[in-house]
Amino acid sequence: MNILVLGGTKFVGRALVDAALAANHQITIFNRGKSNPNIFKDIETLTGDRDGGLSALKGQKWDIVIDTCGYVPRIVRQSVELLQDSAERYLFISTLSVYDSHLSSAGKISESHPLKIMEDESTEEVNAQTYGALKVLCEKEIEKCFSGRSLQIRPGYIVGPHDPTDRFSYWALRATQGGNALAPNPPGRKMQIVDARDLAAWTIQCCENDRKGFYNAVGPEKDLSMKELLDSCVQVAAEKNLPAANFVWLAEKFLIEHEVGYSSELPLCLPPVNGHSTDRVFDNSKAISNGLKFRPLSETISDTISWVKSQEPKSKLSAGLSPEKESRLLRAWSETA
């Protein structure tokens, strides 16, 4: 296939290009040339800007467009209107955040669950409050021009090497640093993640098999708890002969009282609502039945640790507790025992 990737040099886009090349497809990438511009020197690269700078895309043909970086509907509209006659199909990397999780749902949230609504559709600021609703509007823009020709993939937490968010990397790395480490109760908190490489390999398979419609792309195949995730991180640390940490589980009430930020300082964890832990579990059965597969969790953890340690040392990760604050919280917690 002849594939155009919008983006293609950061985390998910990079994994998608790698997967497409491994499957012997012809790839063109389009981006601003600012992020990792030299990682794919041997494939066609078009330079431009999604907001008003799409001229490099004119007059060409592709079998499929993979959009890895659409966040604002007005900007996505420019791409789909320009490419609707230049590409057979359009694949959009969306998000599980499109679902209105405040509406009651029996069991896991499936692809038919109600979506978020943006009251002011002129809003273009992307933040934690608007991200999901803006993605809904982006999906709708794609459907307008590629009706019956689009595939909307909705992942949740994407993890693995090259992750710029450090959300998963924080826990994997902390497990290798020894001593007591802070973990948020409850240990049975449900965790759903997908390795970027597994997501990418399956996405390319979807292109090859002409999949259409909407898919929740999240793992693992079986239920995973926060404790199981951290226990796996500790086990991998030990196998790598690194100083394995001992995770200490602190009460949610204590963490809230001490103003610990769940999304920023306890990544992958949602804050409790009305005193109760918030588990939002998404149904991935449709994607699994259509070929989505997951590598062992230990492999993702091991590769993430190796990747983090191969990078230039950061003064501070993008997510997670600082060592100083973690120490203060653990001391305060021990005094309450």
pLDDT in tens, 109-150: 999 999 999 999 999 999 989 999 999 999 999 999 999 999
pLDDT at 185 over 90: yes
In this structure, the answer to whether residues 128 and 244 fall within a common structural domain is no
Is 210 inside any structural domain?
A: no
SS3 call for 75? helix
Over the stretch 9-56, which tens digit does the pLDDT of each residue have?
899 999 999 999 999 999 999 999 888 888 888 899 999 999 999 999
How many CB atoms are closer than 10 A to CB 4?
Answer: 26
Q: Which domain holds residue 113?
A: 2-155
- CB within 8 A of 271, min separation 6: which ones? 256, 262, 263, 278
Rounded to the nearest 5°, which phi and psi values hold at 99?
Answer: -80, 140
What are the percentages of helix, strand and coil residues in the chain, rounded to 5? 35, 20, 45
Is 201 inside any structural domain?
A: no
Is 78 inside any structural domain?
A: yes
In this structure, the answer to whether residues 145 and 173 fall within a common structural domain is no
Give me the number of domains the chain comprises.
Answer: 2
Is 202 inside any structural domain?
A: no
Average pLDDT over residues 283-291: 97
- CB within 8 A of 164, min separation 6: which ones? 10, 11, 318
The pTM score is 0.94
Q: Residue 147's domain is classified under what CATH number?
A: 3.40.50.720
In this structure, the answer to whether residues 123 and 176 fall within a common structural domain is no
Mean pLDDT (the chain, rounded): 93
| Burial group, residue 208, by CB count within 10 angstroms (0-12, 13-18, 19+) | middle
Whole-number Å distance between alpha carbons of 8 and 297:
25
In this structure, the answer to whether residues 174 and 122 fall within a common structural domain is no
In this structure, the answer to whether residues 102 and 179 fall within a common structural domain is no
Where does the pLDDT of residue 274 fall: very low under 50, low under 70, confident under 90, or very high at 90 and above? Answer: low
When mean pLDDT is compared across 60-69, 100-109, 242-251, 303-312, the lowest value belongs to 100-109
pLDDT at 275 over 70: no
pLDDT at 271 over 60: yes
**Residue 226 to residues 68, 173, 302: CA-CA distances in angstroms?**
28, 15, 17
Whole-number Å distance between alpha carbons of 80 and 78:
6
In this structure, the answer to whether residues 73 and 103 fall within a common structural domain is yes
How confident is the model at residue 33, as a pLDDT? 83
In this structure, the answer to whether residues 248 and 141 fall within a common structural domain is no
Over the stretch 75-120, which tens digit does the pLDDT of each residue have?
999 999 999 999 999 999 999 999 997 765 567 899 999 999 999 9
